[in-house]
Structure 1
């Protein structure tokens, strides 16, 4: 009798745990916008004097899915090139501020925006690039419209933002370049790793059940988010960056993406002494040198 009861209770238990996992994935707890401002200032990554001295324009864009995307545009007089910076999961556009000087020194306008479900933007959930790639296409529309004829726009993302940039480039050939800092190659693989390390659970049967619930609640299967599948068709220059000590998204993800990039310019920088999203801050001079060389080789330096 106890065995029978356990068998009867098992489906409910599996479904309940999977439901919790789904919510943690598609509706993670995000940092409030003002909190990220405070964090970046405290960590020395946002210099308030510089930030408030830069010319800027607050922009509200409309996603193809109807919600608002909140953005900030930093124009540079005479610039004919723009880079769109895309932040990581649970954070906001202010996490990208640290990269602004790199591009302003090279004559770029910079556009940063909050991804769906993050910061001051709308959107009811996070889909790891499934819908976000289409949002980025709308952001690129706006960025290109601000430039004179012949202007170019590149994209750069960090973590989730890096995966979004790669997936976007597969459906939109317009980016002049893509810089992907600590992206994941395969969402299912990453979630299985996090499930094992963070919760101590096996991928099966929880991950397939959570994916089914994500399909019902957010309209996508985890298996549909697969940057590695997008990369072989990319022709624009791509720079992949990853911290050698990244234990959240292992550097092997970027190495596999680099190998899969078969057309056009590709470069890979594995940053020493760097965990997740630490490659630039822990190696600023080397990172800038890699960026400079990449943009020069791409004819956009």
Structure 2
């Protein structure tokens, strides 16, 4: 009986300790301020500040279905119905999207950038890697379409933003004319397994089953519920998949698997240079060329500045 009590106590300590600690790291990953990201991007010459300031931007706020505010900017530089929504990665914010906004503004698109839940100026208390964010993206899409009417819409996502975009298009509504997925993971389970191995030298069986239960209890979803891989199989509109070969945070093979799973019109660009989310930064001319070519191939009219 004493042995069984010891086993039960040990299991409870393990279940509570591992589950709470791991989900705390996942749900409440540290985020960076708008000021920090702006200065980081500026100091690393990732956008042209004079050009950025020359484009008029208008702030907006729209309520998420979950009760908090989603805040962002509208860059309406042209008399065109071509728009692109840009979704950023985890821990950063809409200021990380300036370089992508610059790209599409140079291609003649108007641009919307916004902060995901719990990032930047938006509300929300947890990060869910696309599970809830995909519905926030739906809210943003509907807001823009209601505001601007009949538009040709593209969505560009980086890292978690790409995962959010793919799950929106595959699980919620495939409503854009095109999508650009930059350095997404294929499944949340695969990404967590990889990070456990790289960061802690731990096998997934020791952490993920318990943590998945805790995620469900604390935030309403299991690990398996976050799967861009399943989503991309449902996307019919054209998708450009991008990743850096040297990415050691989310290996580029994730994007290969996403590309192979997609059944619609698609293109693939594996950049030779750059770490995670650095494909544009380290391959700027080629990145611009690939995006422009992709738009030409799917017959989206655009005019480069």
Q: Same fold (TM over 0.5)?
A: yes
CA contact (8 A) 1:73 1:110 kept: yes
2:62 matched residue in structure 1: 61
How far apart are the structure 1 equivalents of 2:38 and 2:282?
20
The alpha carbon displacement at 1:136 in A equals 0.3
The alpha carbon displacement at 1:101 in A equals 2.2
Instruction: Identify the range of structure 1 (8-17 vs 55-64) with the bigger mean alpha-carbon deviation.
Output: 8-17
2:127 matched residue in structure 1: 126
2:268 matched residue in structure 1: 268
The alpha carbon displacement at 1:176 in A equals 0.8
2:220 matched residue in structure 1: 219
CA contact (8 A) 2:18 2:210 kept: no
How far apart are the structure 2 equivalents of 1:273 and 1:196?
24
CA contact (8 A) 1:185 1:227 kept: yes
CA contact (8 A) 1:143 1:153 kept: no
Q: Is 2:202 aligned against 1:205?
A: no
The alpha carbon displacement at 1:4 in A equals 7.4
CA contact (8 A) 2:78 2:109 kept: no
Instruction: Identify the range of structure 1 (33-42 vs 6-15) with the bigger mean alpha-carbon deviation.
Output: 6-15
Q: Is 2:80 aligned against 1:73?
A: no
How far apart are the structure 2 equivalents of 1:220 and 1:142?
26
How far apart are the structure 1 equivalents of 2:15 and 2:44?
41
How far apart are the structure 1 equivalents of 2:182 and 2:2?
52
The alpha carbon displacement at 1:65 in A equals 1.0
How far apart are the structure 2 equivalents of 1:14 and 1:216?
13
Instruction: Identify the range of structure 1 (238-247 vs 208-217) with the bigger mean alpha-carbon deviation.
Output: 208-217
2:168 matched residue in structure 1: 168
1:89 matched residue in structure 2: 90
2:291 matched residue in structure 1: 291
Instruction: Tell me the secondary structure at the aligned position of residue 246 of structure 2.
Output: coil
Change (3 A) 1:74 1:107: same
Deviation by residue 1:172-213 (Cα, 9 ceiling, x = unmatched): 121111100000110011001101111222111311111111
The alpha carbon displacement at 1:152 in A equals 1.2
The alpha carbon displacement at 1:13 in A equals 3.0
RMSD after superposition:
1.7
The alpha carbon displacement at 1:232 in A equals 1.2
How far apart are the structure 2 equivalents of 1:117 and 1:51?
25
Q: TM-score, normalised by structure 2?
A: 0.94
Instruction: Tell me the secondary structure at the aligned position of residue 204 of structure 2.
Output: coil
How far apart are the structure 1 equivalents of 2:146 and 2:79?
15
Q: Is 2:117 aligned against 1:109?
A: no
2:229 matched residue in structure 1: 228
How far apart are the structure 2 equivalents of 1:6 and 1:88?
43
Q: TM-score, normalised by structure 1?
A: 0.95
How far apart are the structure 2 equivalents of 1:199 and 1:5?
30
Moved over 3 A (4+): 1-8
CA contact (8 A) 1:81 1:147 kept: no
How many residues align structurally? Answer: 299
Change (3 A) 1:10 1:300: same
The alpha carbon displacement at 1:17 in A equals 2.3
How far apart are the structure 2 equivalents of 1:147 and 1:177?
18
